[in-house]
């Protein structure tokens, strides 16, 4: 059972690695302010994502552009911000995000290769925000009007925990 934490007119109702639910008192917050918080949470928290991908070989069933878009959307948490990653696979196999590096969110299928097919890609990462591109998304956020205020739910995407996202929001808005 979660113990509620109180921050003035903000109360957390549920906190875990993947999800934070909090309540904003309507005496202090109106729809526009709740929506401003929601937009900040979705758009303005910087995270790392794949920036550039060079395709050296691709005989898979997917076009180069499709592979690039698919890989760009995989959450990444690089140890070295300047690191260049390679993906090289041949033959009959499934290609997973883990095949690139252990800093990529695990278990995401990129493509399947058949006999005689291969892919060879190089990629780099950079920090950015969702306002720039969907590949930099940190979370999904929903809010609903309750009798005395607004309930806001943060569902994390990728590596940044919902609690860390929540703390960034508190810091930004002085809550």
Identify the band that residue 2 occupies on the pLDDT scale cut at 50, 70 and 90.
low
Identify the band that residue 149 occupies on the pLDDT scale cut at 50, 70 and 90.
confident
> Where is pLDDT greater, at 15 or 86?
86
Same-domain pairing of 69 and 122? yes
pLDDT average, residue stretch 151-165:
87
In this structure, what CATH number is given to the domain that contains residue 109? 2.170.120.12
**How many other CB atoms are found less than 10 A from the CB of residue 175?**
17
**Alpha-carbon Rg for the chain in angstroms:** 20
Same-domain pairing of 158 and 107? no
Phi and psi dihedrals of 27, rounded to 5? Answer: -70, -25
Q: 83 pLDDT exceeds 90? A: no
Q: 126 pLDDT exceeds 50? A: yes
73: CB partners within 8 A, 6+ apart = 49, 134, 135
For residue 4, the model assigns a pLDDT of: 67
In this structure, what CATH number is given to the domain that contains residue 152? 3.30.1360.10
Range name among 7-11, 63-67, 91-95, 111-115 with the lowest pLDDT average: 7-11
Same-domain pairing of 38 and 56? no
Same-domain pairing of 60 and 110? yes
Same-domain pairing of 154 and 102? no
Same-domain pairing of 57 and 116? yes
Same-domain pairing of 54 and 101? yes
- Number of separate domains in the chain: 2
Same-domain pairing of 14 and 71? no
Query: 37-78: per-residue pLDDT in tens?
Result: 889 998 999 999 999 999 999 999 999 999 999 999 999 988
Q: Compute the distance between CA of residue 29 and CA of residue 32 in angstroms, rounded to an integer.
A: 8
Which residue is listed with tokens 């990529």? 104
Same-domain pairing of 54 and 96? yes
Same-domain pairing of 56 and 123? yes
Identify the band that residue 1 occupies on the pLDDT scale cut at 50, 70 and 90.
very low
Q: Compute the distance between CA of residue 21 and CA of residue 63 in angstroms, rounded to an integer.
A: 40
107: CB partners within 8 A, 6+ apart = 96, 97, 98
Same-domain pairing of 55 and 114? yes
Range name among 51-55, 85-89, 95-99, 134-138 with the lowest pLDDT average: 134-138
Same-domain pairing of 76 and 96? yes
Coil, helix or strand at residue 134: helix
Question: Range of 111's domain?
Answer: 48-129
Q: What is the DSSP string of 6-38?
A: EETTEEEEEE-SSEEEEEEETTT--HHHHHHHH
For residue 101, the model assigns a pLDDT of: 92
For residue 33, the model assigns a pLDDT of: 87
Query: Do residues 19 and 153 touch, judged by C-beta distance below 8 A?
Result: yes
């Amino acid at each position: 059972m979660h113990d509620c934490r109180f921050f003035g007119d903000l109360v957390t109702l549920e906190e875990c690695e993947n999800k934070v639910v909090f309540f904003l008192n309507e005496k202090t917050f109106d729809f526009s302010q709740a929506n401003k918080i929601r937009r900040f949470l979705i758009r303005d928290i910087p995270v790392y994502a794949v920036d550039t991908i060079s395709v050296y070989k691709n005989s898979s069933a997917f076009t180069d552009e499709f592979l690039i878009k698919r890989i760009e959307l995989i959450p990444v948490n690089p140890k070295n911000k300047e690191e260049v990653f390679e993906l090289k696979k041949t033959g009959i196999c499934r290609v997973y995000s883990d095949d690139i590096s252990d800093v990529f969110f695990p278990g995401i299928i990129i493509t399947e290769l058949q006999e005689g097919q291969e892919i060879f890609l190089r990629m780099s990462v950079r920090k950015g925000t969702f306002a720039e591109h969907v590949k930099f998304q940190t979370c999904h956020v929903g809010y609903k009007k309750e009798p005395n205020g607004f309930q806001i739910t943060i569902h994390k995407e990728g590596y940044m925990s919902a609690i860390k996202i929540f703390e960034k929001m508190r810091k930004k808005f002085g809550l």
